[in-house]
Amino acid sequence: MIQLIECEGAPRDLGLDQGTQCRAALQAAYRSRSRWQRLRLRVLAESNACRHARQEIRRFYPQQAEAMEALARASRVPLAWLIAHLAGNRGPASPADALMLAAASEIADRGGLLARALPTDAIVRRSRPESGFRSIELTQPWRIAPLAGVNEAGLAVACVTSAGVVAAARHAAPAALLAHDCLRRFDSLDGAIDWLLVRPGGGRSMLVLADLSGEIAGVRIDGDERAVFRPADGLIVHTGGHARQPEIEKGLREASPLLGSDLGRFLGMPLVVVEPARRAIALLGGRAGGAGDRRFEI
């Protein structure tokens, strides 16, 4: 059963709420590390790259830095461990975890949708920040930024971070943190894209967005390089180079109009589907009959 947490208030309060409600999961994850793994994390946390990332998060993402520090304090795990997770540029656990798609209103029901593979350690977070838009999000206990979500204005975002060699970048703060800013600050796709193109961040990430207009767009980030794409056919499919991408794209186009509730069974894997028009996310089990499917609204 995926945990639902409620977070409300200033950035510090949001972090305290998440840390308190996820304390057991975070402590279990930290204690499950072997002595050798903890030593490696400690070395990584003290590395120049990790120190640089911490400094840049505080400089360019002060609200997220404040929330992260509060999360560590409330959950009683080392802040260095949380920073190491981010600075380590961890990719998906398996090729299937890299799956992400966006479908515009012309090929999807209910005004367009986003979908992303559902990690095994995911939680659902209902956020009511002191300033900015409220949102419902999929994330992980140790993560401040969302993996996918939608805000009360109907702007939706989903993100996948890739491991491996990336282009040289001036900035060490992970660009995946920008997904948080999109949901807090913007009510439309164009404003969020403009923000994504100019804000500092490194690593390799792919973000897809949709809003109430039914339009979709994607932003590919590789170090300092940013590329925006708006597909003419209204479909974005990202598999991280997985061999099934042509097969998945063909099947999705033939299945048009896409039904959000059917995607998990169609692809045969657990998904989170984000529906801007409903201001909701749905967790789909990918099993016949929809067993385990759940929907969360703002």
At 261, the pLDDT band (50, 70, 90 cuts) reads low
CA neighbor of 135 nearest in space, from 181, 69, 66, 82: 181
**Which positions ≥6 away from 279 have C-beta within 8 Å?**
136, 150, 151, 152, 154, 297, 298
What is the pLDDT, as a whole number, of residue 202? 83
Q: Pick the more confident residue, 170 or 92.
A: 170
**Per-residue pLDDT tens digits for 112-168:** 889 999 988 899 999 999 999 999 999 999 999 999 999 999 999 999 987 654 555
Percent pLDDT > 90 in the chain is 52
Amino acid identity for residue 166 in this structure = V
Task: Compute the C-alpha angle 24/31/172, nearest 5°.
Answer: 90
**Helices (H), strands (E): how many in the chain?**
10, 14
Q: Which CATH number fits domain 95-297: 3.40.50.10320, 3.60.60.10, 3.30.390.50, 3.40.50.10090?
A: 3.60.60.10
* Cα–Cα distance, 40 to 30 (Å, whole number): 13
Task: Compute the C-alpha angle 9/10/15, nearest 5°.
Answer: 90
At 201, the pLDDT band (50, 70, 90 cuts) reads confident
**Mean pLDDT, residues 64-81 taken together:** 93
**Mean pLDDT, residues 187-213 taken together:** 93
**Mean pLDDT, residues 86-114 taken together:** 74
pTM of the complete model = 0.90
pLDDT at 259 over 70: no
Q: What is the mean pLDDT of the chain?
A: 85
SS3 assignment, position 34:
coil
At 99, the pLDDT band (50, 70, 90 cuts) reads confident
pLDDT at 289 over 60: no
Give the start-to-end residue ranges of the domains of the chain.
4-87, 95-297
**Mean pLDDT, residues 16-41 taken together:** 89
* Cα–Cα distance, 207 to 178 (Å, whole number): 9
**Residues 273, 281: contact at Cβ < 8 Å?**
yes
pLDDT at 186 over 60: yes
63-72, 77-86, 154-163: least confident range: 77-86
CA neighbor of 230 nearest in space, from 132, 122, 112, 53: 112
At 18, the pLDDT band (50, 70, 90 cuts) reads very high
* Order of strands across the sheet that contains 156-162: 4-9, 123-129, 135-139, 148-151, 156-162, 204-210, 216-222, 225-229
Peptide bond between residue 257 and the one before it cis (omega within 30 degrees of 0): yes
**Mean pLDDT, residues 223-244 taken together:** 84
**Mean pLDDT, residues 189-196 taken together:** 95
